[in-house]
């Protein structure tokens, strides 16, 4: 309910180490950046409803697009960051195009993407750096 109220005004959501919501904290995996990149990109390309628009391995960014049932377009950036040689972090930024709030849909998209990545990379999941 709170997310819907916040979503009346805000049309974006992002994750990070300092996120107040525990579900929006960065996710860590015991994989090198290159290996994490391969796993994340291959997983994202298989998720229905998302279209990979752009991928830049050198900076670790994948840009996705998702159309909502209401016809709005969401732009999603997934970042794969090297924490150390054997650990990588994944952060997600999602924003809806248009001037109105998103009713919490960006939050739900991030949770959904993390759930999918965590399922695929379950054996590599770690609690942090």
pLDDT one-digit tens code per residue, 76-126? 999 999 999 999 999 999 999 887 777 778 999 999 999 999 999 999 999
Show the domain range for 110: 2-126
Q: How many domains does the chain have?
A: 1
**pLDDT value, residue 127:** 78
**pLDDT value, residue 69:** 80
Q: What is the CATH number of the domain that holds 99?
A: 3.30.310.220
C-beta of residue 55 within 8 angstroms of C-beta of residue 49? no
Q: What are phi and psi of 94, to 5 degrees?
A: -130, 135
Q: Which two tokens stand for residue 53?
A: 């628009």
pLDDT digits (tens, 9 = 90+) for 14-38: 999 999 999 999 999 999 999 999 9
pTM of the model: 0.90
Q: Determine the distance from the C-alpha atom of residue 16 to the mean position of all C-alpha atoms in its chain, rounded to a whole number.
A: 10
Query: At residue 129, does pLDDT exceed 80?
Result: no
C-beta of residue 128 within 8 angstroms of C-beta of residue 90? no
């Amino acid at each position: 309910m709170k997310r819907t109220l916040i979503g009346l005004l805000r049309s974006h959501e992002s994750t990070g180490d300092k996120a107040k919501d525990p579900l929006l904290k960065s996710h860590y995996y015991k994989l090198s950046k290159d290996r994490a990149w391969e796993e994340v990109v291959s997983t994202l390309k298989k998720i229905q409803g998302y279209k990979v628009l752009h991928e830049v391995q050198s900076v670790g960014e994948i840009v996705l697009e998702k159309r909502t049932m209401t016809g709005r377009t969401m732009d999603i950036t997934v970042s794969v960051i090297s924490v150390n040689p054997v650990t990588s972090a994944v952060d997600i930024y999602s924003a809806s195009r248009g001037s109105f709030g998103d009713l919490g849909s960006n939050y739900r998209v991030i949770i959904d993407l993390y759930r999918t990545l965590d399922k695929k990379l379950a054996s590599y999941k770690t609690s942090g750096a």
